[in-house]
Amino acid sequence: MASSVGTTSETPESGSTPEAPDSPARRGRVRGRRAAIMAVPAVAITAGLAIMTAQGALGVQFAISGMPFTVTADSLDGTGFEQFGGLDNMADNSPNAGDTGGQVLVVTSAIKNATLSKLCQSVDLGGTNLKIEAGAGQDKVQATDLTTDSTEMFGNASFRNIEIGNDASTLTKAGVKGPIGVFSQQADVVHIDALRQTNYATTAGVFKLPGLKLTFSSKAC
C-alpha cells in the first residue's frame, strides 16, 4: 500500500515576498522533509511495538480529516502482520492543517485477520466525544484486511516468526506492499494486551462490530 505525498500551497504572510519555486529555501525544506521521511530508526521491541518512518500507505485512498481519534482494546489477536511508516495527507486548505503543511507522520500497521476484545473508539469534537464501543460480550470484533495509521501506540505485544528490516516492497504477511527501499517488519502472528492508539485513519475489508454502541459522551476512551 504505497502513497504519493501530495503538494500543498502556502499563502505568504502579509508583507512577505513569495519564494520562487526553485529558491534555495524551498529546496531546503523539500530536502529536509524527504530526509525526515526516509530516516528509519531501528527500535527494539519490548512491551510495545517498534516504530519505523518511511513513505506512507493510506494517503492514496482518502484525504484524512486531520482530527486524531483514540482506539483502545483489552486485547488484539491477529494473523498476518506488517508495519512501516508513512505520511497521511489532509484535503487542500483543511482547517486542521495548522503548521503541518497538511501532512501527518504515521506508523501504518496492517493485519490480515484481527480479533479485538472490548473495542472503544472516540474522537474529541470540542466539549464532547463521539464514542463507539463494541465487542464487550462473548462475540468479539472481527476485521479482515485491517490497516491503521497511528501517531502513538501502546500495549504489551508478542510476535511469532517476526522479521525485522524487510524492504517494504517485499512484504507478504498481510497482502500489503510498501515502497521499495523502505524499512519494515512483519510477523505471522501478533498479540497485544491493553492496546491504545492515537489514529488518523483506519480501513478494513470487513469490520464486524457486535454489540455496537454509539453515543456522545463527556468521557473519551
pTM of the full predicted structure? 0.73
Q: Do 103 and 89 meet the contact criterion of CB atoms below 8 Å apart?
A: yes
The whole-number pLDDT of residue 49 equals 31
In the block, residue with C-alpha cell 469490520: 207
> For every residue of 26-50, which 3-state class applies, written as one string?
HHHHHHHHHHHHHCCCCCCCCCCCC
| Grid cell locating 55 | 513513505
| d(C-alpha 192, C-alpha 188), whole Å | 14
The whole-number pLDDT of residue 41 equals 32
The whole-number pLDDT of residue 173 equals 97
Q: What SS3 class is residue 136?
A: coil
Determine phi and psi for 102, rounding to 5 degrees. 80, 20
The whole-number mean pLDDT for each consecutive block of 10 residues of the chain, a chain of 221 residues, reads: 39 47 50 38 30 36 91 98 91 94 93 98 96 97 96 98 94 89 93 98 96 97 97
The type of residue at 114 is A
Q: Do 55 and 179 meet the contact criterion of CB atoms below 8 Å apart?
A: yes
Question: Whose CA is closest to 218, among 105, 122, 78?
Answer: 122
| Grid cell locating 23 | 529558491
Q: Rounded to an integer, what is the distance from CA 52 to the centroid of its chain?
A: 11
Q: Where are the alpha helices (DSSP H) in the chain?
A: 24-38
The whole-number pLDDT of residue 60 equals 42
| Grid cell locating 126 | 470540542
In the block, residue with C-alpha cell 482547517: 95
| d(C-alpha 147, C-alpha 55), whole Å | 15
The whole-number pLDDT of residue 179 equals 76
| d(C-alpha 82, C-alpha 99), whole Å | 30
Identify the H or E element spanning 177. none
Q: What SS3 class is residue 146?
A: strand
The whole-number pLDDT of residue 88 equals 92
The whole-number pLDDT of residue 23 equals 52
Q: Which residues contact 141 (CB under 8 A, 6 or more apart)?
A: 73, 115, 116, 117, 119, 134, 135, 207, 208, 209, 210
